[in-house]
Structure 1
C-alpha cells in the first residue's frame, strides 16, 4: 500500500481540498492500493497513519510539504513515523523540498524528495522500490546513497494537466472541504494550470517548476467544475493557478464555457497581461462570475520592479485598478515592500502608490508584506545570498525566526532598518483598518465601523506612528488576514 499524507496547514474550518495529494492519487487510482490521510481533518494523524501501516504492508509514505506550518507538521509526523515504524520509506514532495532539497534530505526521517511535478516521479519511485529500475534513472528525484551522500537526478520536464486523470474526489469527504467564503456558501478549489513562465527574482515558483506553464483545456476545467457542482453542490471556486489569465483567447473561451455554471470565483492574474485584454474579454470574465482577482503589484517603484525582474510597470497596475472597477471585479493588490537595493526609497514610493490606487478604486484589497527572498538555483538577487544564511534542515526552518521569515511576519532582513519595518507594519495596519477586508464573512458590522472610525483620521493625515488604538482594536476583533491565506 502507498500512503499519501497531507500535513495540517490550517484550522479545520478553513481547510480546502488537498489538491496536491489528489493529483498523486489520480495516477495511483486503479493501479495501486493507496489511502489518503489529511491532517487538516484528522485530529491525530500519527495514529491514523499507524493504524494503516499496521493493517497493510505499506511500501511508501508520501508527504506533501509547503513551507510554513505545513512543513512543521510534516516534520513532526514524519519524525514520529520513522521512530515508531522505521521500516516505512518516506518521500517528501511539494514546494518545500523542491526549493530546499538539501535541507529536506538532511532530515534523517526523509529518504527521498521529489522536485517539481510529482506524478510520474512517484510512479517510477514505486517501481524502483520494487527492484524494477535504478534510483538514478528517475528524473526529478533526490535521495541519499549508501554512503549518506545527497544525489539529485536530472530535472523532469513538466506535463500539462490534461496528461493526467481527474482527481479521485470520491476518495475524500468532499462536502467537508466546501466551506463558506466571501464567494459562496460551498467554495471549492481547483488548479487549471501548473507552473509560471515569469522570472520574478524573489519568487521560488520557477525554482520549483521551471519557467513554463501548462494549462488545462477549458473543456476539462468546466467538466470538473460541473462535476463538483452536480455531485457535491459547489457554488463557488478559488483557482490556485499562478497565472489564470495567461492567454486572452484561452481566458475568453474558458469564461464563455463557465458562464452557464453560475459560479462566483477568485483567481490570480498579471497586470501586464490583463491590461492588454479587450473590453469584450473583461466583460466575459465578469459575466462568468469572476468576483476578485489577485495581482502581484509588488512595488510602487518602476525601478524596483525592474530589479525584481517582475516584468510589469506601475502604470499597468493603475490601469487594472481602473478596469476592474469598471467591470465590477474587486482587485486584490499584493506588495512586497523594502527592496534590498534601496528599502527606504521603495517603502516611501510604494506607500504613496497604494494611496493612489485607493483613490482610483477604493474597493481594492491591499496586501502588504516585507520583501522576502527565496533561495534560487544560482544567484538569487544581487548580493542577498551573502546577507542571509538559510537553515540547512527542516528543524531549522521550524524555529520561530524562520517561521516568521517564511510567513513574512518578520524577515529580520539585514538591509531593512527597524524604523522602515515599523513604518511598513504601521501603514499596513492603518490601511487594513480603514478598509477592512470584505473576505471576512464572520466579522460583525460593528467591528468594521469601529475600525474605520479609529483609522480614518490617521489615513487622511498620513499619521502612521504609534497606532496603539488600532493594535488594541485588532487584538480582539481579529479580522481575517488575506495575506496569511495567500501564502
Structure 2
C-alpha cells in the first residue's frame, strides 16, 4: 500500500480539497492500493497512518507539504513514523521540498524528495522500490543511498493537466470540504494549470514548477466543475492557478462555457495582461460569475517593479482598479513593501499609491506584507537581498523555529534591511486601512463590528495619522476580524 499524506494546513472551517494529493491519487487510481490521509480532516492523522501501517504492508509514505504550519505537521508525523516503523520509506514532495530539497533531504526521516510535478516521478519511484528500475533513472528525484550519499537526478519536464486523469473525488468525503465562504455556501477549489512563464525575482513558483504555464483545456475545466456542481452541490469555486488568465481568447472561451453553471468564483491574474482585455471580455468574465480577482500589485514604485522583474507598471494597476470598479468585480491587490535597496522610499511611495487605488475603487481589498523574497532552491545556505546576506535554515527543524516560521508567513520577518520605524509604519498603515475597509471575505463578522471599525479609523485615514493605533488593535482583538489571504492562520 501507498499512503498519501496531506498534513494539516488550516483550521477545519477553512479546509478545502487537498488538490496536491488528489493529483497523485489520480496517477495511482486503478493500478495501486493506496489511501489518502488528510490532516485537515482527521483528528489524529499520525494515529491513522500508524493504524494503516499496522493493517497493511505499506511500501511508501508520500508526504506533500507547503512551507509554514503544514511543513511542521509533516515533520512531526514523519519523525514519529520513522521512530516506530523504520522499515517504511518516506518521500516528501510539494512546494516546500521543491524549493528547499537539500533541507528536506537533511532530515533523517526523509528518504526521497520529489521536486516539481510528482505524478510520473511517484510511479517510477514505486518501480524502483520494487526493484524494477534504477533510482538514478528517475528525473525530479533526490535521494540518499544506503551509505547516506546524496543523489540529484535533475529536473523533470512539466506536463499539462490534460495529460493526467481527473482527480478521484470519490476517494474523499467531498461534502466535508465544500465549506461556506464569501463566494458561496459550498465552495470548491480547482487548479487548471501548472507553472508560471514570468520571472518575478521575489517568487519561488517559477523555480519550483517551471517557466512555462501549461493549461487544462476549457472543456475539461468545465466538465470537472460540472461534476462538482451536479454530484456534490458546489455553488462556488476558488481557482488556485498562479495566472488564471493569460490568453484573452482562451479566457473568453472558458467564461462562455462555464457561465451556465451559475458559480461565483475567485482567481488570480496578472495586472498587465488583464489591463489589455477588451470590455467584451471583461463583461464575459463578469457574466461567468467572477466575484473577485487577486492581483500582485507588489509596489507603488515603478523602479521597484522593474527591479523585481515583475513586468507591470503602476499605471496598469490603476487601470485594473478602474476596470474592476466598472464591471463590479472586487480586486485584491497584494503588496510586498520595503525593498532592500531603498525600503523607506518604497514604503512611502507604496502607501501613497494604495490611497490612490482606494480613491479609484474603494472596494479594493488591500493585502500588505513585508518584502520577503522566497529563497531560490539553487542557493545553498543563503542569498543576497540587496546588500544583506541571509543564512537560511538547512533542515525542516530549522524552518520550524519561531523566527523562520514568522519569516515564511511574513508575519514578523525582522528583515535586517527594514528599520523598526519603517516596519511599524507599514504595520500601522495596514491596521488603519484594514479597519477603514474591513474585508468582505469574513462572513462571520457582524455588521455592527464593521461599522465600529470604520468609525474608529475614519479620522486616522483622512488625516494620515498611522502612529500608535492602539484603539484599532484593541477593537480588532475584540472583533477578531480576519485579514484577506490569512484564512490558514
Smaller-chain TM-score bracket: over 0.9
- Residues in 2 aligned to 1:332 and 1:305: alpha-carbon distance in whole angstroms: 18
Q: Secondary structure at the match of 1:266?
A: strand
Coordinate RMSD, CA, aligned: 1.2
Q: Contact 1:102–1:150 (CA<8 Å) still a contact in 2? A: no
- Residues in 2 aligned to 1:136 and 1:297: alpha-carbon distance in whole angstroms: 42
Match of 1:375 in 2: 375
Q: Contact 1:434–1:456 (CA<8 Å) still a contact in 2? A: yes
Unaligned runs of 5+ in 2: none
Q: Secondary structure at the match of 2:185?
A: strand
* Structure 1 pair 486–327 and aligned structure 2 pair: CA distance change class (3 A): farther
Match of 1:450 in 2: 452
- Residues in 2 aligned to 1:443 and 1:390: alpha-carbon distance in whole angstroms: 38
Pairwise CA distance, 1:412: 1.2
Moved more, 77-86 or 380-389: 380-389
Match of 2:112 in 1: 112
Structure 2 counterparts to residues 288-437 of structure 1, below 5 A: 288-377=288-377, 383-384=385-386, 386-437=388-439
Q: Contact 2:341–2:386 (CA<8 Å) still a contact in 1? A: no
With the length of structure 1 as denominator, give the TM-score of the two structures. Answer: 0.98
Q: Contact 2:14–2:487 (CA<8 Å) still a contact in 1? A: no
Structure 2 counterparts to residues 230-309 of structure 1, below 5 A: 230-309=230-309
Match of 1:94 in 2: 94
- Residues in 2 aligned to 1:378 and 1:392: alpha-carbon distance in whole angstroms: 13
Pairwise CA distance, 1:387: 1.8
Alignment length (residue pairs): 487
- List per-residue Cα deviations over 1:303-345 (Å, max 9, x = no partner): 0000100000000000000000101100000000001111000
Match of 1:168 in 2: 168
* Structure 1 pair 9–156 and aligned structure 2 pair: CA distance change class (3 A): same
Pairwise CA distance, 1:385: 8.3
- Residues in 1 aligned to 2:15 and 2:323: alpha-carbon distance in whole angstroms: 32
Pairwise CA distance, 1:259: 0.4
Runs of 4+ more than 4 Å apart: 377-386
Match of 2:40 in 1: 40
- Residues in 2 aligned to 1:122 and 1:83: alpha-carbon distance in whole angstroms: 24
- Residues in 1 aligned to 2:378 and 2:85: alpha-carbon distance in whole angstroms: 38
Q: Contact 2:369–2:410 (CA<8 Å) still a contact in 1? A: yes
- Residues in 1 aligned to 2:386 and 2:22: alpha-carbon distance in whole angstroms: 37
Matching of residue 76 in structure 1 with residue 71 in structure 2: no
- Residues in 1 aligned to 2:351 and 2:488: alpha-carbon distance in whole angstroms: 21
Q: Contact 1:142–1:150 (CA<8 Å) still a contact in 2? A: yes
Moved more, 382-391 or 304-313: 382-391
Q: Contact 1:407–1:484 (CA<8 Å) still a contact in 2? A: no
- Residues in 1 aligned to 2:270 and 2:280: alpha-carbon distance in whole angstroms: 18
Q: Contact 2:337–2:370 (CA<8 Å) still a contact in 1? A: yes
Structure 2 counterparts to residues 222-237 of structure 1, below 5 A: 222-237=222-237
Q: Secondary structure at the match of 1:159?
A: coil
Q: Secondary structure at the match of 1:61?
A: strand
One of 436, 454, 464 as aligned partner of 2:466 = 464
- Residues in 2 aligned to 1:390 and 1:373: alpha-carbon distance in whole angstroms: 12
Match of 2:56 in 1: 56
- Residues in 1 aligned to 2:180 and 2:387: alpha-carbon distance in whole angstroms: 42
With the length of structure 2 as denominator, give the TM-score of the two structures. Answer: 0.98
Pairwise CA distance, 1:371: 0.5
- Residues in 1 aligned to 2:425 and 2:478: alpha-carbon distance in whole angstroms: 23
- Residues in 2 aligned to 1:147 and 1:346: alpha-carbon distance in whole angstroms: 50
